[in-house]
Chain A
Amino acid sequence: MNPLLVVIVVVFALAALLTIVRIVMGPSILDRAVASDVLLTEVVCVLGAEMAINGHTRSLPVLLIIAAIGVFGSITVARFVAVKESRTP
């Protein structure tokens, strides 16, 4: 197995793990929204990387859909965040 592949998998796994730590810890819901956005981006990157490594095109529509509607998650969270949540920082 190509050692570069092992490095890629380890780096992706570490990035996802650190992002999940921020989602769990996040002091406010906005931090969690930002971290969830990063996690979604990492999912897109992993799908693309898997496609490039294994040489197929089956995940292409998934990339397009996530790029198009993945934004609505954090927009909705940001729109309906309660203002009083900031009083206990």
Chain B
Amino acid sequence: MTLDQIIDLTSLVLILLGAVLCLIAAIGLLRLRDVPARLHAATKPQVLGLILICIAVSLSLREWHVVAFLAVVVIVQFATAPLSAHMVGRQAYRNGRLDTENLVVDELGQAGQNEAPRR
């Protein structure tokens, strides 16, 4: 088995791992109960899955300009993924789409009345 074949196989295995992460996120979306729990499942493939796929593409193509481009893609995804998670999570809290009985501590509720769920 030559080195090229080993690298191609590694790339395929990394793609499979990324696909499995997407599947885990989909199962989590179906199984978990409220919006923040589903958000927790949903943000895993957004960052880790994308990194695995980008490493796989770099290993498969083996060119430096592709690696540079993919680094930009990953950094942009790092910057934007928490934005949507933050907005959706805060709106879920305000709308009362939250399983409050199972919360250990409700820091937003303690922090101030302006962040409390609207009735």
How many residues of chain B have a CB within 8 Å of chain A? 54
A-side interface size class = 35 or more
Q: Is the CB of A71 within 8 A of B73?
A: no
Partner of B87, one of A19, A42, A75: A75
A15 and B61 in contact (CB under 8 A), knowing A60-B69, A74-B87, A75-B83? no
Among residues of B, the one whose C-beta sits closest to the C-beta of A20 is B26
Interface of B is mostly: helix
B12 within 8 A of A: yes
Chain B residues near A (Cβ < 8 Å): 9, 11-13, 15-16, 18-20, 22-23, 25-27, 29-30, 35, 38-39, 42, 45-46, 49-50, 53-54, 56-57, 59-61, 63, 66, 69-70, 72-74, 76-77, 80-81, 83-84, 87-88, 90-92, 94-97, 118
